[in-house]
């Protein structure tokens, strides 16, 4: 008498679980990109240079954080199969696009009247 395993539940997404990012990337990867999204929404809502400067600071932090997350956890993504490859590809795409976004953001800060030298930074933070 042998017991067969219970049937697997149907996938919640059209591609199964492969359409989600792998949790092996770590909490710091997801947390920093979530904070980046929240500060980005605040930057879009405000026309002052201060949110744009803070967004640039968070963006530079997430570039460093993404690189370290990929260096530590990138090898673990190969074991996840297709879901790991999708996660790795989206992380790399995000890492390659963020420096371009930093240049565009610097132009937006200049357009809003802010500068990134020490005197201009203190002036923007007091507004």
At 25-52, the pLDDT tens digits run 777 787 888 888 888 888 777 777 777 7
Ranges of residues in the chain whose predicted pLDDT is under 50: 12-19
CA proximity to 46, closest of 92, 118, 113, 123: 113
CA dist., res. 71 & res. 86, Å (int) = 16
CA angle centred on 22, ends 64 and 79, rounded to 5°: 105
| Dihedral sign (CA 119, 107, 29, 54) | positive
DSSP-derived letter for residue 24 is: G
Tokens coding 109:
């800060």
Under a CB-based contact definition with an 8 Å cutoff, are residues 83 and 17 in contact?
Answer: yes
pLDDT of residue 122: 58
Q: What is the pLDDT of residue 18?
A: 46
Whole-model pTM above 0.75?
A: no
- Residue owning tokens 């190969």: 78
In whole angstroms, give the CA distance from residue 125 to residue 127. Answer: 6
């Amino acid at each position: 008498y042998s017991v067969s395993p219970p049937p697997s539940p149907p996938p919640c997404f059209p591609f199964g679980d492969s359409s989600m990012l792998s949790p092996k990337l770590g909490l710091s990867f997801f947390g920093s990109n979530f904070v980046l999204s929240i500060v980005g929404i605040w930057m879009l809502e405000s026309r002052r240079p201060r949110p744009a400067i803070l967004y640039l600071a968070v963006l530079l932090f997430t570039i460093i954080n993404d690189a370290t997350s990929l260096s530590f956890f990138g090898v673990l993504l190969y074991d996840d199969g297709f879901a790991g490859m999708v996660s790795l590809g989206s992380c790399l795409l995000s890492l390659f696009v963020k420096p371009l976004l930093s240049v565009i953001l610097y132009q937006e800060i200049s357009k809003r009247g802010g500068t990134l030298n020490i005197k201009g930074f203190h002036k923007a933070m007091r507004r």
